[in-house]
Amino acid sequence: MPAKTNPSDLVRRVRKGEHAAASRALSIVVDDGKDSEALAKEFFKASGSVQKIGVSGPPGVGKSTLTGRLVGHFRSKKLKVGVLMVDPSSSISGGAFLGDRLRIMEHATDPGVFIRSLASRGMIGGLTYAIFGAIHVLESLGCDKILIETVGTGQDEVEIASVADTVLYVTTPSMGDEIQAMKAGAMEIGDLFVVNKADLAGKDKAIADLKAALGLGHSAGQAVKAWEPPVLATSAKDGDGVPELAAGLEGHWDHLKKSGEGRARLKRQHATELQFWIQRRVIKSALERVTDKNLEELVARKTDPASLGRRLLK
């Protein structure tokens, strides 16, 4: 049994940069443990000034290896880096993924890198609230850049767009038709695009296809010059293109700060965090009131979810 922890003491230790304290705080905030709300409050106050980079894209494109390379790059610039790895499913597949994440895990003993894996399954109120809580802890810990890597195709991508300041969408020269189609949805959320595994054949075509899909070259007539998502090439395996990618990420961060878009995104992030806080809190208390008898009434069609829900909310 762990020793009793004073919340403000824990916050103080996180701010001093203690990884063990951050680890503890993260567990409490993510699992909604005792003092979770008091902690979350403190961490929220100190947050909102660090770039959160979401790394998204279909399975198998090398997101983890690329994330690991970015960590290495940021470390070479003496930046402290936080990494959140989001596993969409169970602890079982979480384990299985670990092999793919060797490139990240080699940084695990670096005191300038804090890595945490989040499993979404079974979280009331979804993954999103937990990610926000985790991000705020990482900021308090002193991270200069926060990387959030997700594995997902649709729903997850949408979620990452609501927590990250900058969304990096990773693809490769060779993707199946269905995955190609998914890119269409991703277009809307990507701020930078990377064709990874650029050592494979078809790199130039992939870049050209992406640019065409993004409608680049068609924006000359627009009066206001918005952000044009760059399409870059990397080979995460040997690190080619990583400095250019890091420069692109920094360029987007500058754009966010100068254009006011960063503040607008922060506001949207807060709106989402608020929504998920409400969701988690309300569902929890409503579900605590559901009895087996209630469910039996549903099975017997003596009531329906809306009528029962209304009763439980009273």
Q: How far is the CB of 101 from its own copies (least distance, A)?
A: 10
Q: Cβ closer to its own copies: 131 or 246?
A: 131
Map the footprint of its own copies across residues 254-273, applying CB under 8 A: 263, 266-267, 270-271, 273
Note whether 286 and 312 are within 8 A (CB). yes
Stretch that binds its own copies, among 2-10, 110-118, 145-153, 199-207 (CB under 8 A): 145-153
- Tell me the CA distances in angstroms from 149 to 16, 70, 93, 237, 311, one per residue in order: 26, 12, 15, 17, 40
Q: Label the pairing between strands 113-119 and 145-150.
A: unpaired
* Residues near 231 by beta carbon (within 8 Å), at least 6 away in sequence: 193, 194, 195, 207, 210, 211, 214, 216
Q: Where are the beta strands (DSSP E) in 231-291?
A: 231-233
Q: Kindly write out the interface string for residues 79-118 of this chain, putting x where it contacts its own copies by CB under 8 A and - elsewhere.
A: --------xxxx-xx-xxx-xx------------------
What is the distance, to the nearest Å, from the Cα of residue 107 to the centroid of all Cα atoms in its chain?
A: 19
Q: Please state, as a whole number, how many other Cβ atoms lie within 10 Å of the Cβ of residue 179.
A: 18
- Determine if 44 is a binding residue for its own copies (CB under 8 A): yes
- Determine if 59 is a binding residue for its own copies (CB under 8 A): yes
Tell me whether residue 209 is exposed, middle or buried, using C-beta atoms within 10 angstroms of its C-beta: 0 to 12, 13 to 18, 19 or more. middle
Angle between helices 126-140 and 7-15 in degrees, nearest 10: 60
Q: Cβ closer to its own copies: 117 or 153?
A: 153
DSSP codes of every residue in 149-184: EE--SSHHHHHHHHH-SEEEEEE-S---HHHHHHHH
Stretch that binds its own copies, among 3-11, 14-22, 37-45, 190-198 (CB under 8 A): 37-45
Residue of 7, 54, 68, 152 interacting with its own copies (CB under 8 A) = 152
Q: How far is the CB of 37 from its own copies (least distance, A)?
A: 5
Q: How far is the CB of 244 from its own copies (least distance, A)?
A: 25
Q: How far is the CB of 164 from its own copies (least distance, A)?
A: 16
- Determine if 182 is a binding residue for its own copies (CB under 8 A): yes
- Determine if 278 is a binding residue for its own copies (CB under 8 A): yes
- Determine if 295 is a binding residue for its own copies (CB under 8 A): yes
Q: Please state, as a whole number, how many other Cβ atoms lie within 10 Å of the Cβ of residue 82.
A: 25
Q: Cβ closer to its own copies: 39 or 246?
A: 39
Q: Kindly write out the interface string for residues 194-233 of this chain, putting x where it contacts its own copies by CB under 8 A and - elsewhere.
A: ----------------------------------------
Q: How far is the CB of 39 from its own copies (least distance, A)?
A: 10
Structure tokens at 67: 């994330």
Structure tokens at 116: 């945490």
Q: How far is the CB of 60 from its own copies (least distance, A)?
A: 4
